[in-house]
Structure 1
Amino acid sequence: MDRFPVIMGEVLFDCFGDDSVLGGAPFNVAWHLQGFGLNPRFVSRVGADALGAEARARMQDWGLDTRWLAIDPEHPTGRVSVHLTDGQPSYDILPAQAYDYILPPDALGGCGDSLFYHGSLVARSEVSRATLLGLRAAFAGRVFVDVNLRDPWWSMVTLWPLVVGAAWLKLNEDEAIRLVEAGDAARLARERQAGRVVLTRGAQGADVYDGREHLHHVTPPTVVDLVDAVGAGDAFSAVVILGLIEDWAWPVLLRRATAFAARVCGWRGALSDDRTIYREILSDWRGTASS
């Protein structure tokens, strides 16, 4: 696959009391991929407001291409109220945000043999869901679906069409239990024709399954100084995508993904604009090419 993954979905601000932190699962994934040296095409929409201007400016400063970030004159940039309990986040997601009205983008260019990533929250609205399904059709066999079950913004009716036929499906243990009896990831892969299901288990690590069996498990490093777990799953997804593009073996891919997710738990919110973090990690990976 080429190095220009297409990422579609929400960009929003996580609001911790009076503090607003840029985020949104697809945006976080795009941010990390840019940090790791890829050039993702991020397809989304922000309002014609101060938060939208901030999101665009942050993207430009980080080197993310803003050509596919549309401006909505009628709807506000996405906002979410985040509440932390023992470091674990819960979310109050506002309705009718700019990312609910994503329209088909102009030609994406240079990514015809790459990977298409999306989450499930963006499918809550008819407009963005129609755009999403249209884009997916151009990436048959190369679709990565990141399940994020945010009540009340999902249903089986809208979720299953996104899951069926995905090449890679990532979800956490709680989400798996809500979707299939006993959280049986191999059964989920088999019944929904997903190529691989990646199941995250927090401090217990991560696993990958196909439709027949469990393929691999990895135990993550210990998080020594936990700040919060906001964005840890997105950090994990970004490294999985990088590993798929770079053709890493699953044991290597999962080990690196869990290690980066653990590192993100040591800072506030989902993102860092410290480029040295990414350079150091890449240098470590090159020094241990098979681990």
Structure 2
Amino acid sequence: MASLIAVGDNTLDVYLDQTIEYPGGNALNVAVFAARLGARSAYLGCVGDDRHGQYLLDCLQQEAVDASRCRTLSGANGWACVDNVEGERVFLGSDPGVCRQLRLDADDLAYIGTFPLAHSSLYSGLEDQLAQVRQASGCLSFDFSDNWVEFDWQALIQHVDVAFFSAADLSSAQAIELANAMRAKGPAAVVITRGAQGALAVDAQGVHEQAARACAFVDSMGAGDGFIAAFLLAWQARRTLAECLARGVDHAGQVCGWAGGFGHGRTVDSQRVQQLKHALNIQG
């Protein structure tokens, strides 16, 4: 049975224009999608001791994701306010809350070691613990998102086996150049997701490209995370890189067919809306 553990970020994606919020965050989404695809899946991260953190834990339980090692910390859960413009997500601002306060102990690392693959992300705050996660699991995938240059990515990538980058604005030639350059830093495979242009990947056998496929489009939130989960399970099953890309693109298309990352939307009350708008105004 395929299995993976996602370690790191979570959030609540708040659609202010619709007054609805959805559970999300790269690591949490990947764990949920892996479970939906039939894998043994776990999520390890920090949630706030408020009703929002408890809501995330409830959603994970409903999705059959093991969250037994999650921390509930004193403080607010993270959030990200978004607008939905013709189905595309536009982020307005965010606050990580307690999300990046995870400090792994020996028991955590032993638990991570029961999974053949661990996944984490740029927004997880695990920069100084990534080597430990990699050592524990034996294989690490990592989502560098689309703004990796704002982080010390060179220190991170040396610990990564499968690296994911988002680069929808790059041409195919530019994306291949980026993938080759990043693979030279250490990963066995580098994957570039390109939005409506599909995805490509580079490994020891060369370059593989996969076009996007038509889908019943509702919302792009979480599509990249759905791609990652499906790709990783195929990778774990020793499928070819071309097959991994095809699985990823197909599942990303499915994720685009519902609202939010993986559903579970709930209404945001007027008081929370005002609090979030005030926080956004302070952020400028």
Distance 1:183 1:121, change over 3 A: farther
Moved more, 254-263 or 3-12: 3-12
Instruction: Look up the match of 1:6.
Output: 5
Return closer, same or farther for 1:210/1:204 CA change in 2, 3 Å cut-off: same
| 1:149-228 aligned within 5 A | 149=146, 155-174=149-168, 183-190=177-184, 192-210=185-203, 213-214=206-207, 216-223=208-215, 225-228=216-219
Please tell me whether the aligned partners of residues 13 and 23 of structure 1 are also in contact (alpha carbons under 8 angstroms): yes
Following TM superposition, by how much is the alpha carbon of 1:234 offset from its aligned partner in structure 2, in angstroms? Answer: 0.3
Identity across matched positions, percent: 21
In the alignment, does 2:147 pair up with 1:147? no
Match of 2:251 in 1: 260
- On the 8 A contact 2:22/2:263 being kept in 1, the answer is no
Seen in structure 2, the aligned counterparts of structure 1 residues 233 and 157 have a Cα distance that, compared at 3 Å, is closer
- Picking from 260, 264, 272, the partner of 1:269 is 260
- What are the within-5 Å matches in structure 2 for residues 1-80 of structure 1? 3-17=2-16, 18-73=19-74, 75-80=75-80
Native 8 Å contact 2:217 2:256 kept in 1: yes
Structure number having the greater strand percentage:
2
1:96 and 1:26 mapped to 2: Cα distance? 13
TM-score between both structures, scaled by the size of structure 2: 0.82
**2:77–2:96 CA contact under 8 A, matched in 1:** no
Change (3 A) 1:182 1:250: closer
For these two proteins, the number of residue pairs brought into alignment is: 258
Relative to structure 1, is the Cα distance of residues 186 and 84 closer, same or farther in structure 2, using a 3 angstrom cutoff? Answer: same
Post-superposition Cα deviations, 1:225-248, rounded to whole Å, max 9, x if no partner, equal 321111110000000111112222
Partner of 1:285: none
By relative contact order (CA 8 Å, sep 6+), the higher-ranking structure is 2
Partner SS state of residue 267, structure 1? coil
Q: Is the 8 A contact 2:49 2:72 kept in 1?
A: yes
Report the equivalent of 2:122.
120
Instruction: Establish whether residue 138 from structure 1 lines up as the match of residue 141 from structure 2.
Output: no
Q: How far apart, CA to CA, are the structure 2 residues paired with 1:95 and 1:83?
A: 16
For residues 263 and 114 of structure 1, do their structure 2 counterparts lie closer, same or farther at Cα, with a shift above 3 Å needed?
Answer: same
Q: Decide whether the 8 Å contact of 1:176 with 1:183 is kept in 2.
A: no
| 1:109 alignment partner, SS class | helix
Determine if contact 1:146/1:171 at 8 Å carries over to the other structure. yes
User: What CA distance in whole angstroms lies between the structure 1 residues aligned with 2:87 and 2:244?
Assistant: 26
Deviations 1:139-177 (CA, angstroms, capped at 9, x unpaired)? 34x111111245xxx655522211124211111224879
- Which structure 2 residue ranges, 5 or more long, are not aligned? 265-284
Give the conservation status (yes or no) of the 8 Å contact 2:113–2:137. Answer: no
Preserved CA contact (<8 Å) 1:44 1:99 = yes
1:54 aligned partner, one-letter code: Y
Question: Partner letter of residue 203 of structure 1?
Answer: A
Question: Cα RMSD (Å) of the superposition?
Answer: 2.5
